[in-house]
Chain A
Amino acid sequence: MSDVLKIVDLHVSIGDKEILRGVNLSMTEGETHALMGPNGSGKSTLGLAIMGHPNYNCTQGEILLNGENILELEPNERARAGIFMAFQRPVAIPGVKMADFLRHATTNVRNPERKEGEDLIPMREFRKEIKANMEQLQMDSEFARRYVNDGFSGGEMKRAEILQLAMLQPKFAILDETDSGLDADAVRLASQSINEIGHNKMGLLIITHHDKLLEHNPPNFTHVILGGRIVETGGKELAEELHAHGYDRIRKQYPEAAKVNDESEAEAEAVV
């Protein structure tokens, strides 16, 4: 049976500010979904809410993984259940080596029942695997010894996220602007890698402003989010339209959602 991730009427707030106002979305294993929308529409919020960020309060609705509500699960339990998010700006953990971190992560995700202190996956096996994945991503082997995201360039950060995707092999992966801040070559490499790792295998939810990532990972579905709601769902051609012409048509067609979006964007700017 195929894995299914289903989001039903999801409402999410940060503090007392509602960001998502009833999102519905269903993904099946092997499908690629593009999630597009202007700034402040709630794209990253949806990702972070699925991953279980503590600051994102789900006030209504459900997130079902194969029929089971995961809203009560901690982020680590969600990861072990097969959810992954490649972050837009991953945080640095000084002093923690990539290899050590990834060995723990890989072990936990592969043995979801593992208790703390139980054995990690054998070093030899892990080393072989990470080495192969790093070669594919054209990463220097030195990389495994560096501290997690500490002093990484934008490109290194994104590649490190893709490396984690490759190692953890989730059922569903949310890629939050994994192509932003990269030059053309790096975007191509990232796109190809994601295709090899996940396309047609995992359920991919790709958040992007650009079309390069989608070129290599053509979406089965494109969702447009505006003012905290998915206002339109289409195929690949919808993504192409938005890339070519922007969101003017969408805004006009959904004036209420556009108004909400503008307000929350203005508010976000005021906070900054």
Chain B
Amino acid sequence: MSTELTESQELKSTEINKYDFKTETTAVFKARKGIDAEIVNQISDIKNEPDWMRKFRLEALEIFESKPMPKWGGDIDLDFQDIFYYLKPTTDQGKSWDDVPEEIKDTFEKLGIPEAERKYLAGVKAQFESEVIYGSLKKDLSDQGVIFTDTDTAVREHPELLREYFGKVIPSADNKFAALNSAVWSGGSFIYVPPGVSIEFPLQAYFRINEENMGQFERTLIIVDEGAQVHYVEGCTAPMYTSESLHSAVVEVVVKKNARCRYTTIQNWANNIYNLVTKRAFAYQDGTMEWVDGNLGSKLTMKYPAVYMMEPGARGEILSIAFSSKGQHQDAGAKLVHCAPDTTGTIISKSISKNGGRSSYRGLAKVEKGAVNSKCSVVCDALILDDASRSDTYPYIEINEQDVSMGHEASVSRIGEEQLFYLMSRGLSEAEASTMIVNGFIEPLVKELPMEYAVEMNRLIQLQMEGSVG
């Protein structure tokens, strides 16, 4: 009886609006609204980029303009010309928090980032609007050759390494929003872990949108070399405005032979943000890629983290949690593509819909010809809290090989009246009881998270249950 009792993660009422605050800042540079070649060139000019990157952006812009909006998923009611695509909040990136302008530093203090960094992180990147304004990495890791920088800096300082992989896992033409990101991307993380290096503590990036009608387009590239290991965590928040903002990221991950990467997202955007993100990993021989994808915020999220298992023995594991409340649509899911023999893929998805929210699981499990003896398992469970809410499942399965094992299970349940009564008969209020049932529902996933993030996840669930998230 020493360690087994979990500390309960109760919420103090003062924390309820923790994320919904606006910081008054003066931008160093703010591009005019709208997107066209002039804006794209302006971004490239300010970043003083090499020609290949400018060309990459302009080509992507053409693809973006030529591609129609997706006809599936959620309703996207966005005027692309009514968005700010680039905002540079400060001149230089801080190497210590003291270098960061006071008001921006305060923002991240309020979000608890410097504290988390001191306690349990190996490195941090903090992005405010379009630029990474703070970065750190423990010295022993940089001594071992680990690179953890913002992607803009990587273009300048690690051009060959970056160029070898940039846009290779997710080409600009992959989808309309990948093309948009490729045209106007700014910030994001670039990580390289050299062969055999295992990073014990997580690297974390934190994304904050502060302005109204803002677009944030970070671009992340992670390369985990042979036998190396890394856990990368990202969090994101924004204040609540009446008009919409857009967050459209591209995340590419390369997991080499015997390497392992875990990528954890706790997405808590305000409910006016369109979150349209493309995330994909290539896993090579005996390499393992894990996505842990928690979606609690945003107006509409369309995001389906993917693992392409490229060589024998590769593994892909995707854990997805989606929670939608009033005015929210989480169109979340996962993709597993088995391209080689003896590959193993798992998707576990848990979705919760409440107070008129809509959660959809949209997933692909695909086995290519020749990927014999591969195993693929998909489990998706949905919990619906009331009659006004909705849950849908869109599982796509494509198998082009005989000798494979494929399992798919789906369940939908409602919070049982008997469960509520039982907990209430023990003195729990109805709200406490529902929160406990919901936390129990996602507990198989939350227990996979490191302690600090499990606490954060449970706290966010509790906020959602109270209907108070910005």
Contacts and interface: CB of A to CB of B under 8 A. Distances in A.
- The yes or no verdict on A and B being binding partners is yes
Interface of A: 51-55, 74-76, 78-80, 84-85, 87, 90-91, 93-97, 99-105, 108-109, 116-120, 123, 126-127, 130-131, 141-142, 144-145, 147-148, 164, 168
A95 B422 contact: no
A252 B431 CA distance: 49
B440 A94 contact: yes
Given A75-B425, A76-B427, A100-B436, 5 more contacts: A55-B417, A91-B416, A102-B426, A116-B431, A123-B5
A109 B427 contact: yes
Nearest to B431: A116
In this complex, the member of A87, A105, A164 whose beta carbon has the largest number of chain B beta carbons within 10 angstroms is A105
Interface of B: 1, 4-8, 10-13, 416-419, 421-433, 436-437, 439-444
Contacts of A78: 425
B426 A96 contact: no
A178 to B, nearest CB: 15
Contacts of B417: 54-55
A101 B436 contact: yes
Contacts of B6: 97, 99-100
B429 A91 contact: no
A94 B440 CA distance: 6
Given A93-B440, A116-B432, A141 B423 contact: no
B425 A76 contact: yes
A80 B425 CA distance: 9
A91 to B, nearest CB: 4
Given A54-B417, A101-B436, A145-B4, A116 B429 contact: yes
B37 to A, nearest CB: 52
A49 to B, nearest CB: 12
A123 B421 CA distance: 26
B427 A117 contact: no
A158 B465 CA distance: 31
Contact of B8 (A79, A104, A148): A104
Contacts of A79: 424-427
A105 B12 CA distance: 18
B289 to A, nearest CB: 26
A93 B436 contact: yes
Contacts of B432: 104, 108, 116
Given A127-B5, A144-B1, A105 B422 contact: no
Task: Indicate the member of B422, B432, B433 with the most A CB atoms within 10 Å.
Answer: B422
Nearest to A96: B440
B440 A164 contact: no
A126 B4 CA distance: 13
A126 B5 contact: yes
18 contacts: A52-B424, A55-B417, A74-B424, A76-B428, A76-B429, A79-B424, A87-B422, A93-B422, A93-B436, A95-B439, A95-B442, A97-B6, A100-B8, A104-B426, A105-B427, A108-B428, A117-B11, A126-B5
Contacts of B419: 91, 93
Contact of A96 (B4, B416, B425, B437): B437
Given A104-B432, A105-B427, A117-B12, A95 B5 contact: no
B425 A95 contact: no
A144 B4 contact: yes
Contact of A101 (B4, B416, B423, B429): B423
Given A104-B428, A104-B436, A90 B422 contact: yes
A127 B7 CA distance: 11
B428 A95 contact: no
**Max chain A Cβ within 10 angstroms of own Cβ: one of B8, B13, B417, B439:** B8
Contacts of A131: 1
Contacts of B423: 93, 101, 105
Closest 9 CB pairs of A and B: A95-B440, A95-B443, A108-B427, A96-B440, A105-B426, A79-B427, A75-B424, A76-B424, A109-B427
B427 A99 contact: no
Contact of B426 (A53, A141, A168): A168
A100 to B, nearest CB: 5
Given A91-B418, A95-B444, A116-B431, A109 B8 contact: no
A168 B427 contact: yes
A94 to B, nearest CB: 6
A164 B437 CA distance: 18
Contacts of B4: 99, 141-142, 144-145
Contact of B430 (A74, A119, A123): A74
A109 B440 contact: no
A95 B430 contact: no
B8 A95 contact: no
A95 B429 contact: no
A168 B432 CA distance: 17
A130 B432 CA distance: 21
Contacts of B441: 94-95
Given A95-B443, A117-B12, A117-B13, A105 B428 contact: yes
A147 B4 CA distance: 12
Contacts of B439: 95-96
Nearest to A111: B427
A93 B441 CA distance: 9
A175 to B, nearest CB: 13
A96 B443 contact: yes
B436 A119 contact: no
A190 to B, nearest CB: 19
A90 B426 CA distance: 12
A232 to B, nearest CB: 29
Nearest to A97: B6
B5 A103 contact: yes
A53 B417 CA distance: 9
A128 to B, nearest CB: 9
Contacts of B8: 100, 103-104, 120
Contacts of A74: 424, 429-430
A22 to B, nearest CB: 25
B426 A101 contact: yes
Nearest to B350: A95
A85 B418 CA distance: 14
Contacts of A101: 423, 426, 436
A197 to B, nearest CB: 16
B394 to A, nearest CB: 25
A75 B418 CA distance: 12
